Amino acid sequence: MTIAASNICRMTLIAAATLALQSQAARADENGVSLWLPGFFGSLAAVPVTPGWSLGTVAYHTSVGASGNVAAARQIQIGQVPATANVSLNATLKARGDLLFIAPTYTFATPVLGGQFAIGVIGAVGHVDTSIAGTLTAQVGPIVATRNGVLSDSVTGVGDLYPLVTLKWNQGVHNYMIYGFGDIPVGAYESTRLSNIGIGHGGIDFGAGYTYLNPATGFEFSGVGGFTYNFTNPTTDYQSGIDFHFDWGASHFLSKQLFVGAVGYAYQQVTDDFGAAAFLGGFKSRVFGAGPQLGYLFPIGDKQGYLNFKGYKEFASENRPEGWNVWLTFSISNAAPTSTVTPTRRTITK
């Protein structure tokens, strides 16, 4: 079985789509918001692609909820509770987001260190709603105060910019990758607002991945792991800890154009935050997620079109909300050469 150019713009698209979650009001690290979003990479992540320009767009929706320390951290961050207070909170945080991500990428034909080098940038625009409802009791010294009610706000705007570079190698059915990723904090962000699309600070992420792709059987499996280092938020003087993440995807091609499969992730913060309120401790976060995926490839003139749907259900979270999210991805890029036999060799020009 010959598999078509199924990883067209895959790296950039998965990056754009999964970045959507970080615009939510409660995720991980400072106030539950992390630079890296689980699910960033997926199936075919390490497979080289056709050289040249590609463009990916992702329509994204997410809905998450949390209580306890995550909701308390948000109230402290927006100035509703002193960071020195002892807090007892019976409240629920809810957040919903609808975003559109645009991800142009250029893949070079000339090998770099024997592999294929690509560089791109991801931008976003969208709308986020966040609310906290419940009862909060705070004590500072001998003074005790209790508040009941709802805090809520929303924001519509642009997100941060996320540069991404990758270097990939192919050896038959085995594919390898290293990557570098960053955050340029230019998006809509205010430390006193519940809802933000930017995260308010920069950061860098490095990692490596592997893809097994067998054109004869149509089976594929990918895994990518990495670490995130967060810079200090200059507005709040808060620095999130180092995060570890592992994303995976598995798929089976039913034909040259159609594949089905599953995706998942594991996320664990490995070092404490600096600047968290004393009652929050190190505020380390953890979450797991899994769900289905469906992909379809089709020609657009002399280009290659690609549609992908995937979704995640989260579970086993700690200091981080659980929820669900769905992505609808469309990309267009150069088609693979017609003379190419296998997808693992088609994209490398020597």
Residue 126 reports pLDDT greater than 60? yes
Q: What confidence score (pLDDT) does residue 16 get?
A: 36
With cut-offs at 50, 70 and 90, classify the pLDDT of residue 146. Answer: low
Cβ-contact 270, 243 below 8 angstroms: yes
Cβ-contact 273, 242 below 8 angstroms: no
C-alpha atoms less than 13 angstroms from C-alpha of 237 in its C-beta half-sphere? 3
Place of tokens 């769905």: 326
Terminal-residue alpha carbon distance, the chain: 25
Residues in the chain: 350
With cut-offs at 50, 70 and 90, classify the pLDDT of residue 26. Answer: very low
Q: What confidence score (pLDDT) does residue 279 get?
A: 52
Q: Report the distance separating Cα 35 and Cα 103, nearest Å.
A: 17
β-strands 86-107, 143-158: how paired? unpaired
- Provide, rounded to the nearest whole percent, the portion of the chain with pLDDT above 90: 51
Model's pTM, two decimal places?
Answer: 0.80
- Provide, rounded to the nearest whole percent, the portion of the chain with pLDDT above 70: 73
Write b or e for each residue in 100-109: b if 16 or more Cβ atoms lie within 10 A of its Cβ, otherwise e. bbebebebee
With cut-offs at 50, 70 and 90, classify the pLDDT of residue 151. Answer: confident
pLDDT single digits (tens) 293-342: 999 989 999 899 999 999 999 999 888 878 999 989 999 999 877 644 44
- Side chain identity at 10, as an amino acid letter? R
Of 332, 261, 256, give the one whose Cα is nearest residue 290.
Answer: 261
Q: Report the distance separating Cα 187 and Cα 195, nearest Å.
A: 12
Which range, 235-239, 265-269, 316-320, has the best average confidence (pLDDT)? 265-269
Q: What confidence score (pLDDT) does residue 22 get?
A: 37
Q: What confidence score (pLDDT) does residue 18 get?
A: 35
Lowest mean pLDDT among 2-11, 40-49, 89-98, 335-344: 2-11
Structural domains of the chain in order of their starting residue, each with its CATH number: 10-334 (2.40.160.40)
Q: What confidence score (pLDDT) does residue 35 get?
A: 82
Assigned token pair, 181? 């990723």
Residue 266 reports pLDDT greater than 60? yes
Assigned token pair, 205? 């992420």
Q: Report the distance separating Cα 294 and Cα 309, nearest Å.
A: 5
Cβ-contact 299, 31 below 8 angstroms: no
Q: What confidence score (pLDDT) does residue 81 get?
A: 54
Lowest mean pLDDT among 90-94, 156-160, 231-235: 90-94
Q: What confidence score (pLDDT) does residue 78 get?
A: 54
The whole-number average pLDDT for the span 8-23 is 37
The whole-number average pLDDT for the span 71-79 is 55
Q: What confidence score (pLDDT) does residue 4 get?
A: 38
Q: Report the distance separating Cα 109 and Cα 349, nearest Å.
A: 6
Which range, 194-203, 253-262, 334-343, has the best average confidence (pLDDT)? 253-262
Give the chain's mean pLDDT: 80
